[in-house]
Structure 1
Amino acid sequence: MASAIQKIALNASRDIPFNKLVLSQSNVRRVRVGLSIEELARDIERRGLLQSLNVRPVLNGEGAETGAYEVPAGGRRFRALELLVKHKKLAKTAPVPCVVREAGSAILAEDDSLAENVQRVALHPLDQFHAFRDMLEKGMSEDEIAAAFFVVPAVVKQRLRLMTVSDKLLEIYEQDGMKLEQLMAFSISDDHTRQEQVWEIVSQSHNREPYLIRRMLTEKTVRASDRRVRFVGLDAYVAAGGHVMRDLFEADDGGWLDDPTLLHRLVMDKLAGAVEEIRTEGWKWVETALSFPWGHARGFARIEGTPVVISEEEVARLTALHSEQETIEAEYAQADEFPEDIDIRLGEIEQAIEALEERPVSFDPANMARAGAFVSLDTDGTLLVERGFVRPEDVLVEPEDGHDAPESYDDAVAHHRAGNDLEGIGTEDAPGTEPEEEDGLKPLPDRLLTELTAWRTLALRDAFAANPHIALTELLHTLVRDLYWQVSGADCLEAYVRDIPLRVHAPDMPGSIPAHALRQRNEGWKHDLPEDEEALWLWLDRLDDTSRLALLAHCLSFGVNALYERMPPYGAVSQRSVSERLARADRLSTALRLDLAEAGWQATVENYLGRVTKARILEAVREARGDEAAERLLEGTGWLPEALRTPISADKPTDVPAADIAAE
């Protein structure tokens, strides 16, 4: 016969006068976050108590009930009711709905309090949007909704903007197919068809940042000099049915393409073809995007390739090109400028020489099977292929000297002690035990060993400070190992540069002049470094002082931080520290005489004009001609927003020519 299923009994609920309730010391909430007690009190005053208090009988010393009840779960509601009583908006004896846990329950009061706080699920933003929308449709205004939930009206407006988003995209978000920031980016446009087209494009790309979505939705025209146009080709765009708005006074690459959607499709189709061709090389994975976020390869290892040996035919071709170049330059050495056809020919020769001298690289097929490539567009519209990156999970860990790698710290210590030829590595003898007689000397006690190495450390510091050359060598050794080998474990010199990730950045930054310069400098040093890490210290020691200082500056550059940060609640960074950081960045910029205009930054609709208030755009064009007209007027002027301007130093460097100082 089947046994009957045990039925549970829920705790009884009843109304208890407020003056019979006391706050329990078992309530686990200590830190006050979220809605304030005052705001909660106003909410209860407006709509009443929505959730009962969880209470238990208060017992006297003999274990008998006293008639009072403690509140272990619902402390904030209790304090809000207490505030209403204090302000005489609620009677002291007002009945309060409570769920009563029986005295002597096996479930602790702290258990109830913790469960009530951690077992709740925050409302999904889409559910909040639906609720706001329903309330709006039933007659409440945006301000009334904001007041009811103690948020600023901007929060309500932001959620209600989701009404402009395609139902298809809302469904994708509901199924965790995109992030809230991405969904909100689509609300900038009311065109559902265009929204879905943009999502189809970005969903196939590695880069799905909200700024890219907003840019694609708001982009009405694309300049003919844009890298996407150069990649596809203006003729291909026109052949596909696209139209170009021309200006008679524009240069050859002038004009604007008025169908960004068509251009995006052509770009993605051509990129897809290039990706398939690169995939056939044998890579494990290939990721593509118009541009990858800065630092996209952070955390990846990289395999080294071997330059393909130049053939005899290529050597002969290179010799002939150099000979032709020298002949032309000698023939026109006295001329003020080259004739147009000669100038074109010299450009062709230089490109051909560069193509022959920049040797392609071949990779080991076994390494390619665990590595991949990033494919994007360079600033000049050419295909940028970064090969040989290995994801962390695919990195091979090779044991040293043919031995198995230690599995734990204890194994590592045992392995070190077993293989150490020097005496003096040992442990403290266990109390109450006599060491066994051995032929050799017994290990030194740990305490003594620590004291001896402390003495050695002090003397080493003194010798280190007295020898700047060795000090710089050791510093470079530590920084270079961290940058290029990512070696884990402690080092003798406790010095490091914290690489600051630039997670939020403009889309034009990865292809900018500083980004190119940093990549080229990084690859140049990587090429010069010895392949064997063991040979690194000697290589650095023999390096000339100018090169040592240049390498030091390169390693330190990754730690430069001039970022503005918003201050999150309970964050580790304060507003004061950020202000001090920016002030020191101003000082560094002044010392370096940094000019962002010379570095390639230029105000565009995408990176500034389309993202600021109209009051910050040129008065002459803000109403009459719009953001893109402002971009055209600012082009080439070197204008910079306040955040990018370098402060002018009151003390001029002595090496600045007097004419330059007067010009400033």
Structure 2
Amino acid sequence: MHPLDQFRAFTALIDAGLSEDDISARFFVSVSTVRQRLRLASVAPSLLEIYGEDGMSLEQLMAFTVNENHARQEQVWEQLSQTYQPSAHQIRRLLTEDAIPASDRRVRFIGLDAYVEAGGYVMRDLFSSDQDGWLQDPTLVEQLVNARLTTIAEEIGAEGWKWIETAIDLPYGCERGKRRITGTTVPLSDEEQAKLDALVEEYDGLGEQYQDGGDLPDEVDARLTEIDAGITALTQRPVTYDPEEQARAGVFVSLSHDGRLRVDRGYVRPEDEPAAEGAGDDDSQAGGIPSSGPTVSVGGQVQTGEQADDEDDAIRPLPDRLVSELTAERTLALRDVLANAPDAAFLALLHALCLSVFRSHVQAGCVQIGVTQAWLGNAAPNLRETSWSQSIQERHEQWADRLPSDPDELWSALAAMAHEEQMVLLAHCVSLGVNALFEANKGYDGRISAHGVAQRLAAADALAGVVGLDMAEAGWTPTVDNYLGRVTKPRIIEAVREAKGDATAVLIEHLKKGDMAREAERLLAGTGWLPEPLRLPQAEAEPEADEQVADLPDFLAGDGQFDQHEQHDAYAVAAE
């Protein structure tokens, strides 16, 4: 019997109403083994068939259990099956590339239990313990980290510092140009000194008694741990600072590589140095603490005592998560509109081929030009319900039903198509490779960089211009759920002002955040207003004729060459 038959038998018995304990007793295996077999049976059916035909090892199959998304499992296998023998590690890495491992210092800092209690989901495979896994909600992790850092910063600020700068990673050299003040270590009292001497004497005595190197009894090992903790508490003495110096200095708070808190106190900025003698006694440059408390900065964002982010007048950058959601919808819309523009799709494909030929990009195999589909996953809610997604799926199913599954028959079917049909099919295939998704850069990890994302979005803008995509005409409209309820009040007012004018924007300035968002949704309906990530790029003014000729290479400046200012550049960037 193949192991797959056992997996399916366990599943059938569960469906029949038997419990895991019943199955365990019937097959003489442990309950944990039954659970593992049931978990393996939950892998995508197509992958189970491959495993049943010995096209995949058990270790590889077990790696797929880390992610329950069948479509993503199949996509990863199709991507890796081109290699000689993909390892379980490669499979697991791709399935969890958008998640945060439990070993990450941010997770160590907040604790895995705190993430789960806040509603976060942890992906685990059959190799993972309760303290292992991958956290699937990076946004929630960031929120929990920032919340705890804010609490810690406020506690440190109560010591009397002027400012607290907090971040997971502070900029390299952030302390440069700042004067470091020194404090005085609080000495031990006579009682504390006596206690420390007694602990040291006891520790040394136990060390001499068990110096033979044998295993320590459990009670002795526990006592040594207690003594070590007591010595540490007594020797790590608090430091006091001169109140006047402390009132003009600040503190850096960050995380070390293992998730422990790092606190560096006593840095004075140049602008907070004492005023020169005779500058005026009423000058406030002496560095006093504001009446509202110290200035707390978390991740580069200044926090106030009331946390009134929505109430200040500054228009802050859009949250990374929101930009990702908006560009995910734009990616689907671009795919849909490109599928209906065969000429643009053909040009995009031709440009990609030219890059491969003339830039010496060598690929193994025979004409291995493929479509790499960016997995949008949970980048935005309800993506499957959008009109663009439904249009893509319907078109894909129609072609899938029509095209033969046998590779040899596929050659004949494609050759028999009219040119117009071939172009339509080409456009559909190329459109699935569109990736206009914004991804927040959390530090270069070998997979994504800020420069790469910027190039991708620039190419998406050019492609949108080529196909004439207008997200408003395509059906997107701002609502409380997809935008207005996710941004600050100044952003809402700015949107209404851009769409309806100053007079209308003034009418909603007095409203609370929720009421303002709902009223803005009503006012913006039908106006065609779009946030920046969804707007069609504006065409730049054409250069003068003389400038065109001057910018052309000599061998292209002669007669018979096409004009540089036409859509050639836009097509080229779009295809890239």
| TM-score clears 0.5 | no
Larger Rg: 1
TM-score (norm. length: structure 1): 0.27
